[in-house]
Chain A
Protein backbone atom coordinates (compact mmCIF):
# COMPACT_ATOMS: atom_id res chain seq x y z
CA UNK A 1 0.00 0.00 0.00
CA UNK A 2 1.22 3.52 -0.83
CA UNK A 3 1.19 5.80 2.21
CA UNK A 4 1.74 9.56 2.29
CA UNK A 5 4.69 10.89 4.23
CA UNK A 6 2.37 11.92 7.06
CA UNK A 7 0.69 8.50 7.16
CA UNK A 8 4.12 6.84 7.27
CA UNK A 9 5.20 8.98 10.19
CA UNK A 10 1.98 8.22 12.08
CA UNK A 11 2.59 4.50 11.45
CA UNK A 12 6.08 4.85 12.93
CA UNK A 13 4.58 6.33 16.09
CA UNK A 14 5.59 9.94 15.57
CA UNK A 15 2.03 11.15 16.31
CA UNK A 16 1.62 9.11 19.49
CA UNK A 17 0.67 5.53 20.30
CA UNK A 18 -3.03 5.90 19.61
CA UNK A 19 -2.45 7.16 16.09
CA UNK A 20 0.16 4.47 15.54
CA UNK A 21 -2.36 1.80 16.51
CA UNK A 22 -5.02 3.38 14.29
CA UNK A 23 -2.73 3.38 11.24
CA UNK A 24 -1.51 -0.18 11.99
CA UNK A 25 -5.14 -1.31 11.83
CA UNK A 26 -5.79 0.63 8.63
CA UNK A 27 -2.71 -0.84 6.96
CA UNK A 28 -3.58 -4.44 7.99
CA UNK A 29 -7.10 -3.87 6.74
CA UNK A 30 -5.90 -2.31 3.50
CA UNK A 31 -3.49 -5.17 2.79
CA UNK A 32 -6.29 -7.65 3.47
CA UNK A 33 -8.61 -5.97 1.02
CA UNK A 34 -6.20 -5.09 -1.80
CA UNK A 35 -6.37 -1.35 -1.20
CA UNK A 36 -3.63 0.69 -2.86
CA UNK A 37 -4.04 3.74 -0.61
CA UNK A 38 -6.05 5.37 2.16
CA UNK A 39 -8.83 7.81 1.27
CA UNK A 40 -10.79 10.40 3.31
CA UNK A 41 -14.21 9.36 4.65
CA UNK A 42 -17.01 11.64 5.93
CA UNK A 43 -18.98 9.47 8.36
CA UNK A 44 -18.09 6.52 10.56
CA UNK A 45 -20.50 4.15 12.29
CA UNK A 46 -18.95 2.10 15.10
CA UNK A 47 -19.81 -1.36 16.38
CA UNK A 48 -18.36 -2.86 19.54
CA UNK A 49 -20.58 -1.14 22.09
CA UNK A 50 -22.50 -3.90 23.88
CA UNK A 51 -20.58 -5.21 26.92
CA UNK A 52 -21.96 -8.65 26.02
CA UNK A 53 -19.94 -8.58 22.81
CA UNK A 54 -16.72 -6.74 23.70
CA UNK A 55 -16.30 -7.98 27.27
CA UNK A 56 -13.68 -6.83 29.74
CA UNK A 57 -10.98 -6.69 27.06
CA UNK A 58 -13.05 -4.25 25.00
CA UNK A 59 -14.10 -2.20 27.99
CA UNK A 60 -10.51 -1.81 29.19
CA UNK A 61 -9.24 -1.12 25.69
CA UNK A 62 -11.80 1.68 25.15
CA UNK A 63 -11.19 3.14 28.58
CA UNK A 64 -7.45 3.41 27.77
CA UNK A 65 -7.90 4.70 24.24
CA UNK A 66 -10.44 7.35 25.26
CA UNK A 67 -7.88 9.07 27.48
CA UNK A 68 -6.40 10.83 24.47
CA UNK A 69 -8.26 9.63 21.35
CA UNK A 70 -10.76 12.02 19.73
CA UNK A 71 -12.82 11.35 16.59
CA UNK A 72 -12.02 13.45 13.53
CA UNK A 73 -15.28 12.94 11.56
CA UNK A 74 -19.01 12.49 12.30
CA UNK A 75 -19.17 9.21 14.21
CA UNK A 76 -22.33 7.32 15.23
CA UNK A 77 -22.71 4.29 17.47
CA UNK A 78 -24.27 0.81 17.53
CA UNK A 79 -26.69 -0.38 20.28
CA UNK A 80 -25.48 -1.21 23.79
CA UNK A 81 -26.87 -3.80 26.22
CA UNK A 82 -29.88 -2.08 27.79
CA UNK A 83 -32.16 0.96 27.87
CA UNK A 84 -31.12 3.18 30.78
CA UNK A 85 -34.79 4.25 31.25
CA UNK A 86 -35.97 0.78 32.26
CA UNK A 87 -32.83 -1.24 33.04
CA UNK A 88 -34.04 -1.74 36.63
CA UNK A 89 -37.01 -3.77 35.28
CA UNK A 90 -34.61 -6.43 34.02
CA UNK A 91 -32.46 -8.80 35.95
CA UNK A 92 -29.04 -7.45 35.01
CA UNK A 93 -26.13 -7.68 37.41
CA UNK A 94 -24.40 -4.56 38.68
CA UNK A 95 -21.14 -5.47 36.99
CA UNK A 96 -22.83 -5.51 33.59
CA UNK A 97 -24.46 -2.14 34.17
CA UNK A 98 -21.29 -0.45 35.42
CA UNK A 99 -19.10 -1.89 32.62
CA UNK A 100 -21.68 -0.88 30.03
CA UNK A 101 -21.82 2.66 31.41
CA UNK A 102 -18.00 2.81 31.29
CA UNK A 103 -18.10 1.86 27.59
CA UNK A 104 -20.79 4.49 26.94
CA UNK A 105 -18.66 7.06 28.73
CA UNK A 106 -15.52 6.15 26.76
CA UNK A 107 -17.26 6.66 23.42
CA UNK A 108 -18.82 9.94 24.55
CA UNK A 109 -15.42 11.14 25.76
CA UNK A 110 -13.99 10.45 22.30
CA UNK A 111 -16.69 12.68 20.79
CA UNK A 112 -18.96 9.97 19.36
CA UNK A 113 -22.69 10.76 18.87
CA UNK A 114 -24.43 8.41 21.34
CA UNK A 115 -27.06 7.15 18.87
CA UNK A 116 -27.02 3.51 20.09
CA UNK A 117 -28.66 2.33 16.90
CA UNK A 118 -27.95 -0.29 14.24
CA UNK A 119 -30.01 1.62 11.64
CA UNK A 120 -28.02 4.86 11.13
CA UNK A 121 -29.35 4.92 7.54
CA UNK A 122 -32.86 5.49 8.88
CA UNK A 123 -32.28 8.01 11.65
CA UNK A 124 -29.62 10.29 10.12
CA UNK A 125 -29.73 12.24 6.85
CA UNK A 126 -28.06 10.35 4.02
CA UNK A 127 -25.22 12.37 2.44
CA UNK A 128 -25.04 12.92 -1.31
CA UNK A 129 -24.56 9.97 -3.67
CA UNK A 130 -21.18 8.23 -3.72
CA UNK A 131 -20.09 9.71 -0.38
CA UNK A 132 -17.37 7.60 1.23
CA UNK A 133 -18.31 6.38 4.72
CA UNK A 134 -17.02 3.66 7.05
CA UNK A 135 -19.81 1.54 8.60
CA UNK A 136 -18.93 -1.34 10.90
CA UNK A 137 -22.43 -2.64 11.65
CA UNK A 138 -22.91 -5.30 8.98
CA UNK A 139 -26.57 -4.64 8.16
CA UNK A 140 -25.85 -0.91 7.96
CA UNK A 141 -22.85 -1.36 5.66
CA UNK A 142 -24.90 -3.58 3.32
CA UNK A 143 -27.82 -1.13 3.41
CA UNK A 144 -25.51 1.84 2.73
CA UNK A 145 -23.91 0.13 -0.28
CA UNK A 146 -27.11 -1.43 -1.68
CA UNK A 147 -29.87 1.11 -1.01
CA UNK A 148 -28.37 4.45 0.07
CA UNK A 149 -25.83 5.08 -2.73
CA UNK A 150 -23.00 5.36 -0.21
CA UNK A 151 -19.68 3.56 -0.35
CA UNK A 152 -18.24 1.57 2.52
CA UNK A 153 -16.16 -1.49 3.18
CA UNK A 154 -17.72 -4.00 5.55
CA UNK A 155 -15.64 -2.53 8.35
CA UNK A 156 -14.68 -4.27 11.55
CA UNK A 157 -15.14 -2.62 14.94
CA UNK A 158 -11.43 -1.78 14.92
CA UNK A 159 -11.10 -0.52 11.37
CA UNK A 160 -14.13 1.74 11.86
CA UNK A 161 -12.67 3.10 15.10
CA UNK A 162 -9.33 3.65 13.33
CA UNK A 163 -11.23 5.50 10.57
CA UNK A 164 -13.04 7.66 13.14
CA UNK A 165 -9.70 8.63 14.71
CA UNK A 166 -7.89 9.34 11.42
CA UNK A 167 -10.74 10.33 9.04
CA UNK A 168 -9.36 7.75 6.57
CA UNK A 169 -10.17 4.29 5.31
CA UNK A 170 -8.52 1.86 2.88
CA UNK A 171 -9.66 2.25 -0.74
CA UNK A 172 -10.85 -1.36 -1.01
CA UNK A 173 -13.00 -3.31 -3.47
CA UNK A 174 -16.44 -2.12 -2.40
CA UNK A 175 -15.34 1.51 -2.77
CA UNK A 176 -14.41 0.73 -6.37
CA UNK A 177 -16.17 -1.24 -9.12
CA UNK A 178 -16.78 -4.67 -7.68
CA UNK A 179 -17.45 -7.80 -9.73
CA UNK A 180 -19.87 -10.14 -7.96
CA UNK A 181 -18.90 -13.84 -7.99
CA UNK A 182 -22.49 -15.07 -8.25
CA UNK A 183 -26.02 -14.12 -9.35
CA UNK A 184 -28.88 -15.27 -7.14
CA UNK A 185 -32.32 -15.64 -8.67
CA UNK A 186 -35.09 -15.16 -6.10
CA UNK A 187 -37.74 -17.81 -6.86
CA UNK A 188 -39.92 -17.58 -3.74
CA UNK A 189 -43.53 -16.60 -4.48
CA UNK A 190 -45.21 -14.03 -2.22
CA UNK A 191 -42.19 -13.50 0.01
CA UNK A 192 -42.50 -11.81 3.40
CA UNK A 193 -39.71 -10.25 5.50
CA UNK A 194 -38.75 -13.69 6.81
CA UNK A 195 -38.19 -15.00 3.26
CA UNK A 196 -36.05 -11.95 2.47
CA UNK A 197 -34.05 -12.43 5.68
CA UNK A 198 -33.40 -16.04 4.64
CA UNK A 199 -32.49 -14.91 1.13
CA UNK A 200 -29.95 -12.52 2.68
CA UNK A 201 -28.57 -15.29 4.92
CA UNK A 202 -28.22 -17.54 1.86
CA UNK A 203 -26.56 -14.72 -0.14
CA UNK A 204 -24.01 -14.13 2.63
CA UNK A 205 -22.98 -17.78 2.42
CA UNK A 206 -22.50 -17.93 -1.36
CA UNK A 207 -21.25 -14.38 -2.03
CA UNK A 208 -17.68 -13.10 -1.73
CA UNK A 209 -17.77 -9.30 -1.48
CA UNK A 210 -20.96 -8.59 -3.45
CA UNK A 211 -23.75 -10.54 -5.17
CA UNK A 212 -26.03 -9.88 -8.11
CA UNK A 213 -29.63 -10.50 -7.24
CA UNK A 214 -32.51 -10.93 -9.67
CA UNK A 215 -36.19 -11.80 -9.47
CA UNK A 216 -37.01 -9.34 -6.69
CA UNK A 217 -40.42 -7.69 -6.64
CA UNK A 218 -40.99 -4.32 -4.97
CA UNK A 219 -39.78 -4.56 -1.41
CA UNK A 220 -40.85 -2.53 1.58
CA UNK A 221 -38.47 -1.05 4.11
CA UNK A 222 -38.86 -3.97 6.54
CA UNK A 223 -38.03 -6.49 3.82
CA UNK A 224 -34.97 -4.54 2.69
CA UNK A 225 -33.68 -4.34 6.26
CA UNK A 226 -34.34 -8.06 6.80
CA UNK A 227 -32.34 -8.95 3.69
CA UNK A 228 -29.39 -6.77 4.80
CA UNK A 229 -29.53 -8.18 8.35
CA UNK A 230 -29.58 -11.76 7.05
CA UNK A 231 -26.60 -11.29 4.77
CA UNK A 232 -24.52 -9.56 7.43
CA UNK A 233 -24.97 -12.53 9.75
CA UNK A 234 -23.69 -15.31 7.52
CA UNK A 235 -20.90 -13.90 5.39
CA UNK A 236 -18.31 -11.34 4.45
CA UNK A 237 -20.39 -10.03 1.58
CA UNK A 238 -21.49 -6.37 1.85
CA UNK A 239 -23.42 -5.35 -1.24
CA UNK A 240 -26.45 -6.40 -3.27
CA UNK A 241 -26.30 -5.38 -6.92
CA UNK A 242 -29.79 -5.53 -8.38
CA UNK A 243 -29.93 -7.26 -11.77
CA UNK A 244 -28.90 -10.38 -13.67
CA UNK A 245 -25.17 -9.65 -13.80
CA UNK A 246 -22.84 -10.70 -16.63
CA UNK A 247 -23.83 -13.73 -18.67
CA UNK A 248 -20.70 -15.60 -17.58
CA UNK A 249 -21.38 -15.01 -13.88
CA UNK A 250 -22.34 -18.20 -12.00
CA UNK A 251 -26.12 -18.42 -11.45
CA UNK A 252 -27.93 -20.00 -8.52
CA UNK A 253 -31.62 -20.18 -7.56
CA UNK A 254 -32.99 -19.34 -4.15
CA UNK A 255 -35.99 -21.65 -4.20
CA UNK A 256 -38.27 -23.38 -1.68
CA UNK A 257 -35.64 -26.03 -0.99
CA UNK A 258 -32.93 -23.46 -0.14
CA UNK A 259 -35.44 -21.51 1.95
CA UNK A 260 -36.27 -24.67 3.88
CA UNK A 261 -32.55 -25.33 4.48
CA UNK A 262 -32.06 -21.90 6.08
CA UNK A 263 -35.29 -22.30 8.04
CA UNK A 264 -34.15 -25.69 9.39
CA UNK A 265 -30.76 -24.27 10.36
CA UNK A 266 -32.17 -21.38 12.38
CA UNK A 267 -35.64 -22.48 13.54
CA UNK A 268 -35.08 -24.81 16.48
CA UNK A 269 -38.45 -24.77 18.27
CA UNK A 270 -42.14 -24.30 17.61
CA UNK A 271 -43.46 -22.20 20.46
CA UNK A 272 -41.88 -19.06 21.93
CA UNK A 273 -42.14 -17.95 25.58
CA UNK A 274 -41.58 -14.37 24.50
CA UNK A 275 -41.52 -12.41 21.24
CA UNK A 276 -38.88 -9.98 20.05
CA UNK A 277 -39.28 -7.47 17.22
CA UNK A 278 -36.31 -5.52 15.96
CA UNK A 279 -32.98 -6.77 14.70
CA UNK A 280 -32.23 -4.49 12.97
CA UNK A 281 -34.08 -2.06 15.27
CA UNK A 282 -37.52 -0.89 14.10
CA UNK A 283 -37.67 2.54 12.48
CA UNK A 284 -40.57 5.00 12.71
CA UNK A 285 -42.32 3.53 9.65
CA UNK A 286 -42.28 0.06 11.18
CA UNK A 287 -43.52 1.12 14.63
CA UNK A 288 -46.28 3.13 12.95
CA UNK A 289 -47.39 0.04 11.05
CA UNK A 290 -47.10 -2.10 14.18
CA UNK A 291 -49.30 0.34 16.11
CA UNK A 292 -51.94 0.14 13.36
CA UNK A 293 -51.82 -3.67 13.23
CA UNK A 294 -52.25 -3.92 17.00
CA UNK A 295 -55.34 -1.70 17.20
CA UNK A 296 -57.88 -3.54 19.38
CA UNK A 297 -55.52 -6.47 19.94
CA UNK A 298 -53.08 -7.43 22.66
CA UNK A 299 -50.24 -9.92 23.02
CA UNK A 300 -50.83 -13.11 24.97
CA UNK A 301 -47.16 -13.16 26.03
CA UNK A 302 -44.32 -10.68 26.51
CA UNK A 303 -43.28 -8.83 23.37
CA UNK A 304 -40.05 -6.81 23.37
CA UNK A 305 -39.85 -4.03 20.76
CA UNK A 306 -36.38 -2.63 19.98
CA UNK A 307 -36.08 0.83 18.47
CA UNK A 308 -33.56 3.72 18.46
CA UNK A 309 -33.94 6.40 21.15
CA UNK A 310 -34.77 9.08 18.57
CA UNK A 311 -37.66 6.90 17.35
CA UNK A 312 -38.81 6.22 20.92
CA UNK A 313 -39.02 9.97 21.53
CA UNK A 314 -41.10 10.43 18.35
CA UNK A 315 -43.34 7.49 19.36
CA UNK A 316 -44.11 9.15 22.67
CA UNK A 317 -45.09 12.39 20.92
CA UNK A 318 -47.30 10.54 18.44
CA UNK A 319 -49.05 8.51 21.14
CA UNK A 320 -47.73 5.18 19.82
CA UNK A 321 -46.00 4.36 23.08
CA UNK A 322 -49.29 4.29 25.00
CA UNK A 323 -50.93 2.20 22.27
CA UNK A 324 -48.13 -0.36 22.11
CA UNK A 325 -47.80 -0.64 25.88
CA UNK A 326 -51.54 -1.18 26.12
CA UNK A 327 -51.09 -4.05 23.65
CA UNK A 328 -48.48 -5.59 25.92
CA UNK A 329 -45.27 -4.42 24.22
CA UNK A 330 -42.14 -3.53 26.18
CA UNK A 331 -40.44 -0.70 24.29
CA UNK A 332 -36.66 -0.64 24.52
CA UNK A 333 -34.31 1.92 23.02
CA UNK A 334 -30.48 1.95 22.90
CA UNK A 335 -30.34 -1.87 22.58
CA UNK A 336 -31.39 -4.65 20.18
CA UNK A 337 -32.46 -8.32 20.00
CA UNK A 338 -29.06 -9.15 18.62
CA UNK A 339 -26.82 -10.09 21.57
CA UNK A 340 -29.15 -8.67 24.19
CA UNK A 341 -28.30 -9.56 27.79
CA UNK A 342 -32.01 -9.01 28.62
CA UNK A 343 -32.90 -12.52 27.39
CA UNK A 344 -31.37 -15.24 29.50
CA UNK A 345 -31.69 -18.98 29.00
CA UNK A 346 -32.24 -19.39 32.76
CA UNK A 347 -35.72 -17.93 32.42
CA UNK A 348 -36.49 -18.13 28.69
CA UNK A 349 -36.49 -21.37 26.69
CA UNK A 350 -37.67 -20.20 23.29
CA UNK A 351 -37.96 -16.81 21.58
CA UNK A 352 -40.33 -16.11 18.68
CA UNK A 353 -38.96 -13.57 16.21
CA UNK A 354 -39.21 -12.49 12.57
CA UNK A 355 -35.50 -11.64 12.47
CA UNK A 356 -32.97 -13.96 10.85
CA UNK A 357 -30.14 -11.94 12.36
CA UNK A 358 -31.79 -12.08 15.78
CA UNK A 359 -32.40 -15.83 15.41
CA UNK A 360 -28.75 -16.58 14.66
CA UNK A 361 -27.43 -14.76 17.72
CA UNK A 362 -30.22 -15.84 20.08
CA UNK A 363 -29.45 -19.46 19.16
CA UNK A 364 -25.66 -19.25 19.24
CA UNK A 365 -24.90 -16.59 21.85
CA UNK A 366 -27.91 -16.52 24.17
CA UNK A 367 -28.33 -20.29 23.86
CA UNK A 368 -32.12 -20.17 23.64
CA UNK A 369 -34.43 -21.91 21.19
CA UNK A 370 -35.77 -19.92 18.26
CA UNK A 371 -39.17 -19.99 16.59
CA UNK A 372 -39.22 -18.04 13.31
CA UNK A 373 -42.43 -16.37 12.19
CA UNK A 374 -43.29 -13.40 10.01
CA UNK A 375 -44.75 -10.34 11.72
CA UNK A 376 -48.22 -10.97 10.29
CA UNK A 377 -48.10 -14.58 11.54
CA UNK A 378 -46.91 -13.41 14.96
CA UNK A 379 -49.83 -11.00 15.21
CA UNK A 380 -52.25 -13.71 14.05
CA UNK A 381 -50.98 -16.40 16.44
CA UNK A 382 -49.82 -14.45 19.46
CA UNK A 383 -52.41 -11.71 19.98
CA UNK A 384 -56.08 -11.77 20.86
Chain B
Protein backbone atom coordinates (compact mmCIF):
# COMPACT_ATOMS: atom_id res chain seq x y z
CA UNK B 1 0.00 0.00 0.00
CA UNK B 2 1.28 3.45 -0.89
CA UNK B 3 1.62 5.92 1.96
CA UNK B 4 2.51 9.56 2.30
CA UNK B 5 4.55 10.25 5.42
CA UNK B 6 5.81 13.72 4.59
CA UNK B 7 4.04 15.65 1.84
CA UNK B 8 5.69 17.53 -1.04
CA UNK B 9 6.34 17.78 -4.77
CA UNK B 10 9.79 17.47 -6.37
CA UNK B 11 11.33 16.25 -9.60
CA UNK B 12 14.77 14.71 -9.84
CA UNK B 13 16.93 11.68 -10.47
CA UNK B 14 16.62 8.34 -8.68
CA UNK B 15 19.58 7.16 -6.62
CA UNK B 16 18.70 3.57 -5.85
CA UNK B 17 20.19 1.36 -3.17
CA UNK B 18 19.47 -2.33 -2.78
CA UNK B 19 20.79 -2.13 0.80
CA UNK B 20 19.01 -0.56 3.77
CA UNK B 21 20.65 2.55 5.21
CA UNK B 22 21.91 3.07 8.77
CA UNK B 23 22.03 6.87 8.70
CA UNK B 24 23.88 7.17 12.01
CA UNK B 25 26.79 4.88 11.28
CA UNK B 26 27.26 5.14 7.56
CA UNK B 27 26.29 8.58 6.21
CA UNK B 28 28.77 11.45 6.52
CA UNK B 29 26.91 14.41 8.01
CA UNK B 30 28.96 17.08 6.24
CA UNK B 31 29.17 15.58 2.76
CA UNK B 32 26.15 13.25 2.57
CA UNK B 33 28.46 10.49 1.30
CA UNK B 34 28.01 6.82 2.32
CA UNK B 35 31.13 5.69 4.18
CA UNK B 36 30.41 1.97 4.69
CA UNK B 37 32.61 -0.04 2.32
CA UNK B 38 30.13 -2.92 2.33
CA UNK B 39 27.24 -0.68 1.22
CA UNK B 40 25.73 -0.64 -2.24
CA UNK B 41 26.11 3.17 -2.34
CA UNK B 42 29.65 3.30 -0.91
CA UNK B 43 31.36 6.59 -1.77
CA UNK B 44 28.23 8.03 -3.41
CA UNK B 45 26.64 11.34 -2.35
CA UNK B 46 22.96 11.51 -1.45
CA UNK B 47 22.84 15.23 -2.30
CA UNK B 48 19.84 16.36 -4.40
CA UNK B 49 18.87 12.80 -5.25
CA UNK B 50 15.51 11.10 -4.95
CA UNK B 51 16.85 8.41 -2.68
CA UNK B 52 15.13 5.04 -3.21
CA UNK B 53 16.05 2.36 -0.65
CA UNK B 54 14.37 -0.53 1.20
CA UNK B 55 14.27 1.16 4.63
CA UNK B 56 16.31 2.79 7.36
CA UNK B 57 17.98 0.56 9.96
CA UNK B 58 20.00 0.99 13.14
CA UNK B 59 20.14 3.58 15.86
CA UNK B 60 17.24 5.98 16.15
CA UNK B 61 19.71 8.87 16.44
CA UNK B 62 19.95 8.56 12.67
CA UNK B 63 16.99 10.97 12.52
CA UNK B 64 19.37 13.75 13.58
CA UNK B 65 21.71 12.74 10.76
CA UNK B 66 18.89 13.38 8.30
CA UNK B 67 18.28 16.78 9.94
CA UNK B 68 22.06 17.46 9.75
CA UNK B 69 22.48 16.58 6.07
CA UNK B 70 19.49 18.83 5.30
CA UNK B 71 21.04 21.69 7.31
CA UNK B 72 24.32 21.12 5.44
CA UNK B 73 22.55 21.16 2.05
CA UNK B 74 23.69 17.65 1.16
CA UNK B 75 20.38 15.86 1.72
CA UNK B 76 18.24 14.02 -0.84
CA UNK B 77 15.31 16.12 -2.15
CA UNK B 78 12.94 13.22 -1.43
CA UNK B 79 13.05 9.67 -0.12
CA UNK B 80 11.14 6.60 -1.31
CA UNK B 81 11.08 3.44 0.79
CA UNK B 82 9.73 -0.07 0.47
CA UNK B 83 9.10 -0.22 4.22
CA UNK B 84 8.46 2.63 6.66
CA UNK B 85 10.72 2.99 9.69
CA UNK B 86 10.63 5.47 12.53
CA UNK B 87 14.13 6.87 12.10
CA UNK B 88 13.62 7.92 8.51
CA UNK B 89 10.00 9.04 9.05
CA UNK B 90 10.81 11.40 11.90
CA UNK B 91 14.08 12.60 10.37
CA UNK B 92 12.22 13.51 7.18
CA UNK B 93 9.32 15.08 9.13
CA UNK B 94 11.68 17.40 10.95
CA UNK B 95 13.88 18.19 7.96
CA UNK B 96 10.75 18.57 5.78
CA UNK B 97 11.96 16.08 3.16
CA UNK B 98 9.06 14.46 1.27
CA UNK B 99 8.86 10.76 2.09
CA UNK B 100 6.65 8.06 0.63
CA UNK B 101 6.38 4.30 0.98
CA UNK B 102 5.46 2.33 -2.16
CA UNK B 103 4.51 -1.23 -3.10
CA UNK B 104 7.18 -3.83 -3.86
CA UNK B 105 6.18 -3.83 -7.52
CA UNK B 106 6.64 -0.06 -7.87
CA UNK B 107 9.81 -0.21 -5.81
CA UNK B 108 11.37 -2.73 -8.21
CA UNK B 109 10.25 -0.70 -11.23
CA UNK B 110 12.29 2.32 -10.09
CA UNK B 111 15.81 2.16 -11.55
CA UNK B 112 18.93 4.08 -10.71
CA UNK B 113 19.26 7.21 -12.85
CA UNK B 114 15.56 7.48 -13.80
CA UNK B 115 14.07 10.98 -13.93
CA UNK B 116 10.81 11.13 -11.98
CA UNK B 117 8.26 13.56 -10.60
CA UNK B 118 7.16 12.80 -7.05
CA UNK B 119 3.91 14.53 -6.07
CA UNK B 120 2.08 13.52 -2.92
CA UNK B 121 -1.08 15.40 -4.07
CA UNK B 122 -1.33 13.23 -7.18
CA UNK B 123 -2.94 9.81 -6.80
CA UNK B 124 -0.07 8.29 -8.81
CA UNK B 125 2.59 9.68 -6.42
CA UNK B 126 5.34 8.92 -8.96
CA UNK B 127 5.31 10.00 -12.62
CA UNK B 128 8.09 9.02 -14.99
CA UNK B 129 9.55 11.87 -17.03
- Residues in A with CB closer than 8 Å to B99 are 28
Known: A233-B58, A233-B59, A236-B55. Is A24-B93 also a contact (CB below 8 A)?
yes
Cβ of B45 < 8 Å from any Cβ of A?
no
Per-residue 0/1 for B79-102: is the Cβ within 8 Å of any A Cβ (1 yes, 0 no)? 000011111011111100001010
In the assembled complex, the Cα of A195 lies from the Cα of B34 at a distance in Å of 29
- Residues in A with CB closer than 8 Å to B62 are 156
Which one of B8-16, B23-31, B104-112 is at the interface? B23-31
Interface residues on B, range: 35 or more
Q: Are A32 and B5 in contact (CB under 8 A)?
A: yes
In the assembled complex, the Cα of A31 lies from the Cα of B6 at a distance in Å of 10
Known: A32-B101, A364-B36. Is A236-B63 also a contact (CB below 8 A)?
no
Known: A32-B101, A158-B93, A364-B36. Is A235-B57 also a contact (CB below 8 A)?
yes
Q: Are B86 and A154 in contact (CB under 8 A)?
A: yes
- Residues in B with CB closer than 8 Å to A50 are 61
Cβ of B67 < 8 Å from any Cβ of A?
yes
In the assembled complex, the Cα of A233 lies from the Cα of B61 at a distance in Å of 11
Cβ of A353 < 8 Å from any Cβ of B?
no
A-B contact count (CB 8 A): 128
Cβ of B48 < 8 Å from any Cβ of A?
no
Cβ of B64 < 8 Å from any Cβ of A?
yes
Q: Are A236 and B85 in contact (CB under 8 A)?
A: yes
In the assembled complex, the Cα of A342 lies from the Cα of B99 at a distance in Å of 36
Cβ of B17 < 8 Å from any Cβ of A?
no
Q: Are A156 and B87 in contact (CB under 8 A)?
A: yes
Known: A53-B24, A137-B60. Is A159-B68 also a contact (CB below 8 A)?
no
Cβ of A25 < 8 Å from any Cβ of B?
yes
Q: Are A157 and B84 in contact (CB under 8 A)?
A: no
- Residues in A with CB closer than 8 Å to B25 are 360-361, 364-365
Q: Are B68 and A57 in contact (CB under 8 A)?
A: yes
Partner of A157, one of B36, B58, B63, B70: B63
Known: A53-B24, A236-B55. Is A32-B64 also a contact (CB below 8 A)?
no
Min CB distance B112 to A, Å, is 23
- Residues in B with CB closer than 8 Å to A57 are 29, 64, 67-68, 70-72
Partner of B86, one of A24, A54, A159, A204: A159
In the assembled complex, the Cα of A79 lies from the Cα of B33 at a distance in Å of 26
Q: Are B3 and A32 in contact (CB under 8 A)?
A: yes
Partner of A28, one of B5, B56, B57, B67: B5
In the assembled complex, the Cα of A29 lies from the Cα of B67 at a distance in Å of 16
In the assembled complex, the Cα of A201 lies from the Cα of B94 at a distance in Å of 29
> B18-48: which residues lie under 8 A (CB-CB) from chain A?
22, 24-26, 29, 35-36, 38
Min CB distance B70 to A, Å, is 8
- Residues in B with CB closer than 8 Å to A339 are 24
- Residues in A with CB closer than 8 Å to B65 are 53
Partner of B57, one of A136, A159, A204: A204
Cβ of A21 < 8 Å from any Cβ of B?
yes
Min CB distance A51 to B, Å, is 11
In the assembled complex, the Cα of A29 lies from the Cα of B63 at a distance in Å of 12
Partner of A31, one of B4, B59, B72, B85: B4
Cβ of A33 < 8 Å from any Cβ of B?
yes
Cβ of A93 < 8 Å from any Cβ of B?
no
In the assembled complex, the Cα of A330 lies from the Cα of B114 at a distance in Å of 53
**Which chain B residue has the least Cβ–Cβ distance from A364?**
B25
Q: Are B93 and A25 in contact (CB under 8 A)?
A: yes
In the assembled complex, the Cα of A208 lies from the Cα of B82 at a distance in Å of 12
- Residues in B with CB closer than 8 Å to A157 are 60-61, 63-64, 90
Q: Are A31 and B3 in contact (CB under 8 A)?
A: yes
Q: Are A138 and B59 in contact (CB under 8 A)?
A: yes
29 contacts between A and B (CB under 8 A): A28-B6, A28-B99, A29-B86, A29-B90, A31-B84, A31-B89, A32-B3, A47-B61, A48-B64, A53-B61, A53-B64, A53-B65, A55-B29, A57-B67, A57-B68, A136-B60, A156-B60, A156-B89, A156-B90, A158-B90, A158-B91, A158-B93, A208-B83, A233-B58, A234-B58, A236-B56, A236-B57, A236-B83, A361-B25
**A57-B70, A232-B59 provided; 12 other pairs, C-beta below 8 A?**
A32-B3, A32-B85, A32-B101, A33-B86, A33-B89, A57-B67, A57-B68, A58-B67, A153-B86, A157-B64, A158-B93, A365-B25
**Residues of chain B having any CB pair with chain A under 8 Å:** 3-6, 22, 24-26, 29, 35-36, 38, 55-65, 67-68, 70-72, 83-87, 89-94, 99, 101
**Residues of chain A having any CB pair with chain B under 8 Å:** 21, 24-25, 28-29, 31-33, 47-48, 50, 53-58, 61, 136-138, 153-160, 162, 204, 208, 232-236, 265, 339, 360-361, 364-365
Question: Closest 3 CB pairs between A and B?
Answer: A28-B93, A32-B84, A32-B89
